[in-house]
Amino acid sequence: MGRRGLVTDSRNIGLAPSILSADFSFLGEAVRSVEQSAGWIHVDVMDGHFVPTITMGPLAVQSLVRLTSVPIECHLMIDNPWAIMPQFAQAGAARCTVHVETGRTAELAGMARALGISMGVALNPETPAAEIYPYLDSVDLVLVMTVNPGFGGQQFMPEVLPKLAEISSRVSEMGLEIDVEVDGGIGPGTVGQVVAAGANILVAGSAIFSAGTSPAAAAEKLIRVAMDAGVR
């Protein structure tokens, strides 16, 4: 359950650039451009059922693993993660995050351990925090969605912040060494709010790859803002 990322004020603040917002015709270059700031490379896996969009699968992850030494985390926005997780593990993913809404979370945690990868559990904006509490001691990460999953470039939902703070507090109260990740609308204008609420892993796509500057500069700026928020 070790954490990977930049350290400030005894907290680990890590960045997980989401390649969903990158230019797919130059995906290798996009990944390499953010390696210095990234703790993880975030791959959004969508099946057209759990969410309406279809994205990439294990073969894409296998290619990414050859391009970078940064570990790959796969966010499985799919109806049947138990059927596909072994393929992502075989492709080289270091972590798979599944949605509590799909069910069978305890079984999936056991599967991840057997496959030798770490696992996260995600919850949608409308899902109560209590839905993930039974699994906190068997996962490595909680992913709090701050947009409805399925599309990049959405607006951050500030109404999720109290739930984020509740989950972060619960993790601390239980004495767990697990990460609290946020995904959705994360950028310089929102990162301070989520870090203050307890997040320590930041998924960002549009703020890095569609920022109007180089992805490397955008990633470094986001980390600086997060670090500033973390030491207040």
**Domain membership of residue 26 as a residue range:** 6-230
CATH number for 87 = 3.20.20.70
153: left (phi over 0), alpha (psi -120 to 50) or beta: left
Sheet with 72-77: strands ordered across:
6-8, 11-17, 201-204, 179-183, 141-145, 118-123, 95-99, 72-77, 41-46
Burial of 116 (0-12, 13-18, 19+ CB in 10 A): exposed
Please state, in angstroms and rounded to a whole number, the distance separating the CA atoms of residues 59 and 210.
25
Q: Which residues contact 47 (CB under 8 A, 6 or more apart)?
A: 54, 77, 78, 79
Number of domains the chain is built from: 1
Residue 31 within a domain: yes
* pLDDT tens, N- to C-terminus, the chain (232 residues): 333 333 233 347 899 999 999 988 888 999 999 999 999 999 999 998 999 888 999 999 999 999 999 999 999 999 999 999 999 999 999 999 999 999 999 999 999 999 999 999 999 999 999 999 999 999 999 999 999 987 766 799 999 999 999 999 999 999 999 999 999 999 999 999 999 999 999 999 999 998 888 999 999 999 999 988 764 4
Residues with a known catalytic role: 44, 183
Residue 1 within a domain: no
Q: For residue 227, what pLDDT is reported?
A: 86
Residue 58 within a domain: yes
Q: For residue 12, what pLDDT is reported?
A: 77
Q: For residue 108, what pLDDT is reported?
A: 97
